[in-house]
Amino acid sequence: MSESQAISGEEEISWFWEGMEADVRATLTAEQRIAIEKAMAKSGKKSGPADIRLHLGDYFIRIVAGKERRNKKRLKQDLKNNPLFAWKNVPILLVFTASWILSMVYIVAVISSVVQRFFFS
């Protein structure tokens, strides 16, 4: 544990100090270490996105949802590099589309049954 960790009580970022080269760590004052740990503590308080992972044998499906934090330039580049309608995405898009259609058919059937039972019985 570093001197600043003992002072500030921040043990959860010991991985940071252990990963830093000893000669670099030795050049930091106690005040600098405390300032670094405070900055890391603030950045760690932001909640990450929801992350759902479904494992299906040799395959998996991952759904990540949250606030977009990337800038517009990076978003544009990401859409260019990973388009939604790429061939690699076709199977999963078909599965989602089929699931959505089946869900809608089921909902319409349930609503029709309820309407028929209450209004035409």
Looking from the CA of 27 toward its CB, the CA atoms found within 13 Å total 4
Q: State the Cα–Cα distance between residues 3 and 31, nearest whole angstrom.
A: 10
Q: State the Cα–Cα distance between residues 92 and 90, nearest whole angstrom.
A: 6
Mean pLDDT value across residues 92-103? 95
Q: What is residue 72's three-state secondary structure?
A: helix
CB 64 within 8 A of CB 51: yes
Mean pLDDT value across residues 102-117? 95
Which helix (H) or strand (E) segment is 114 a member of?
helix 90-119
**pLDDT at residue 97 in the model:** 96
**pLDDT at residue 46 in the model:** 65
pLDDT for residue 20 is more than 80: yes
pLDDT, tens only, 27-71: 999 999 889 888 887 776 667 788 899 998 998 888 899 988 889
